[in-house]
């Protein structure tokens, strides 16, 4: 049965989508695991990153199902009067199958997912329930969350065993963390039987010497300590290869001219993450 991890931070632009996609590829390549990525952000960054803009457009134009169909499968409309349940396999796209047995699949997102937020009733459990038939086909499911609290966040919590919190150590880096604490507490009170745990905070895009960075890491560590949160020993370094990889539709290790030191530092984080969640 897959271990499910949501990448979340109520602050935007901290690297949730970048780390989701790179973690998925590295876990498949380095650890030979089968990974399913779920893009739970209406901005569909992870979908475009994994599929590339052309294949993504083709998917949407062909009206193939996305994560939106998961949340709207029971909504009766003139086009779907019977509101038939979604066969989740039809929403899964294979990105890569490796010779070592590892693979990366994706359930893409689409802009219309934002509309699901307008009718949130009874949607918390839909993602978890819909994934159930395929959960044994994967070792790891990674959910890329949007930076705002909504029914989608609660659906991600409900489907997850762990949360991974990327933080960019910069001015205002702590701003999303109290919101996350509140949101986790509210969820735990509403669903006391769900075993949602925090895998930890990972510092992303670190440069090692900026004084602002040192200051901001201190603030984050303080909040982590107050809440008994693990902070990953291995940090993800700042590297232009990450945005470049997004443009090339490739993970760090397959991006043109990416540096070996950055790749090996990211690999160390991947191994620490895998160990932490028992993968």
Nearest approach in angstroms of CB 222 to ligand ATP is 22
Residue 96 burial by Cβ neighbours in a 10 Å radius (0-12, 13-18, 19+): middle
Burial zone of 215 (CB within 10 Å; 0-12 exposed, 13-18 middle, 19+ buried): middle
Q: Which H or E run contains 218?
A: helix 211-226
Residue 191 interacts, among ligand ATP, Mg ion, none and using kind-specific CB cut-offs from 5 to 8 Å, with none
CA 229 to chain centre: 19
Which of 216, 186, 184, 187 is closest to 203 using CA atoms? 216
Considering CB distances under 5 to 8 angstroms, the limit depending on partner class, which of Mg ion, ligand ATP, none binds residue 205? ligand ATP
Q: Which is nearer to Mg ion, 9 or 73 (CB)?
A: 9
Residue whose tokens read 């089968």: 34
- Does 246 interact with ligand ATP (rule: CB under 6 A)? yes
Q: Report, in Å, the least distance between residue 251 CB and ligand ATP.
A: 12
Judged by beta carbon, residue 13 or residue 89, the one nearer Mg ion is 13
- One character per residue 196-215, x = contact with ligand ATP (rule: CB under 6 A): --------xx----------
Does position 177 interact with ligand ATP (CB under 6 A)? The reply is no
* 238 lies in the site for ligand ATP, by CB under 6 A: yes
Residue 44's contacts (CB-CB under 8 Å, 6 or more residues apart) are 56, 108, 109, 110, 111
Q: Is 14 in the site for ligand ATP (CB under 6 A)?
A: yes
Name the one range near ligand ATP by CB under 6 A: 14-22, 110-118, 125-133, 155-163. Answer: 14-22
Judged by CB under 6 A, the chain residues 62 through 101 that form the site for ligand ATP are: none
- For ligand ATP, give the closer residue by CB, 15 or 102: 15
Two tokens, residue 205: 């895009």
- Burial class of residue 155 in the structure, from the number of CB atoms within 10 Å of its CB (0-12 exposed, 13-18 middle, 19+ buried): buried
Interacting residues toward ligand ATP by CB under 6 A: 12-18, 41, 45, 147, 204-205, 236, 238-239, 242-243, 246
């Amino acid at each position: 049965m897959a271990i499910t991890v949501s990448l979340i931070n109520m602050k935007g632009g901290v690297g949730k989508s970048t780390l989701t996609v790179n973690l998925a590829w590295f876990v498949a390549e380095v650890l030979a695991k089968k990974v399913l990525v779920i893009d739970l952000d209406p901005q569909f960054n992870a979908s475009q990153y994994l599929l590339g803009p052309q294949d993504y457009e083709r998917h949407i134009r062909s009206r193939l199902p996305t994560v939106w169909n998961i949340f709207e499968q029971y909504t009766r409309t003139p086009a779907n009067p019977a509101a038939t349940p979604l066969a989740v396999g039809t929403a899964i796209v294979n990105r890569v199958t490796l010779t070592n047995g590892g693979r990366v699949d994706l359930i893409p997102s689409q802009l219309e997912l934002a509309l699901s937020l307008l009718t949130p009733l009874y949607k918390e459990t839909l993602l978890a329930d819909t994934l159930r038939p395929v959960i044994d086909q994967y070792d790891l499911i990674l959910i890329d969350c949007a930076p705002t609290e909504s029914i989608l966040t609660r659906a991600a919590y409900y489907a997850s065993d762990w949360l991974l919190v990327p933080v960019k150590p910069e001015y205002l880096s702590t701003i999303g963390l109290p919101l996350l604490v509140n949101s986790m507490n509210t969820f735990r009170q509403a669903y006391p039987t769900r075993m949602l745990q925090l895998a930890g905070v990972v510092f992303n895009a670190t440069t090692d010497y900026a004084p602002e960075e040192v200051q901001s890491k201190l603030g984050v560590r303080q909040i982590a300590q107050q809440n008994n949160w693990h902070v990953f020993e291995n940090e993800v370094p700042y590297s232009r290869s990450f945005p470049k990889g997004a443009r090339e539709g490739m993970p760090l290790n397959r991006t043109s001219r990416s540096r070996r030191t950055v790749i090996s530092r990211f690999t160390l984080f991947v191994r620490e993450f895998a160990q932490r969640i028992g993968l």
